[in-house]
Amino acid sequence: MANVDSAMESYREGLDAIDRRILKALQEDGRLSNVDLAERVGLSPSPCLRRVKRLEAQGVIRSYRAVLDRPATGLGLTVFVEIKVVRHTRENAAELQAALEARPEVVSCHMVSGTADFLAEIVVADLTAYERLLAEHLLSLPMVADIRSNFSLRRIKSDGALPLV
C-alpha cells in the first residue's frame, strides 16, 4: 500500500495549480468550451487546450459524460450490496469482478476489507427489478457465499467532484 500511496503522491505533485484549476472547472462543467475554460483558469486558449489534451493522454481525465437524474430516468432504487466470496482465491475474485462489470445495473463496485469482500452500488427501477437481478444473476454465481442488501432511503450526495486541493 505504501508504494501505491507514494506513487499517487508523486503523481499529484506533477499537477500544478493551473492543472488543478482546469480539472476543477471541468468537474463543475464538462461542457465548457476551450475558450471559456481558458478564461476561467487564466490561460490563453492554445496552452489551455494543450494542457487538457495532456491530462487526457495521461489518463487524469478519463472521460466526459452527462450525469443523469436517477428517478427521472425510471431508476428509483439504489441498493448497496455487500458480497462475500466462498474462498479467497484470485480466480474467484476475477470471476466475480467480471460478472459484476458485465451487469449494467452495477454502477460502482469496490473490493473492500471488512465483513464483505465486494461492495456494489446497484441502480434499478424498483424492488421487483432488484429481486430479479438478485435471484437470476447474483445468487446464481458459484463463488458467492453471502449477500447483504442495504437499501438507500435517500441520496444525500453522489457524483461529487474529487477534492483537488
Residues 6+ apart with CB under 8 A from 49: 34, 38
* Domains in the chain: ranges and CATH: 2-57 (1.10.10.10), 71-151 (3.30.70.920)
Averaged over 71-90, what is the pLDDT?
95
Can you read off the three cell numbers belonging to residue 125? 427501477
Taking only the tens place, the pLDDT of each residue in 128-159 is 999 999 999 999 999 999 999 999 999 999 88
Distance from C-alpha of 54 to C-alpha of 59, rounded to nearest angstrom:
9
pLDDT at 5 over 70: no
Averaged over 78-95, what is the pLDDT?
94
pLDDT at 12 over 60: no
- Residue 13's pLDDT is 59
Taking only the tens place, the pLDDT of each residue in 67-80 is 999 999 999 999 99
- Residue 105's pLDDT is 98
At 56, phi and psi to the nearest 5? -70, -45
Which of the two residues, 7 and 162, has the higher pLDDT score? 162
- Residue 4's pLDDT is 44
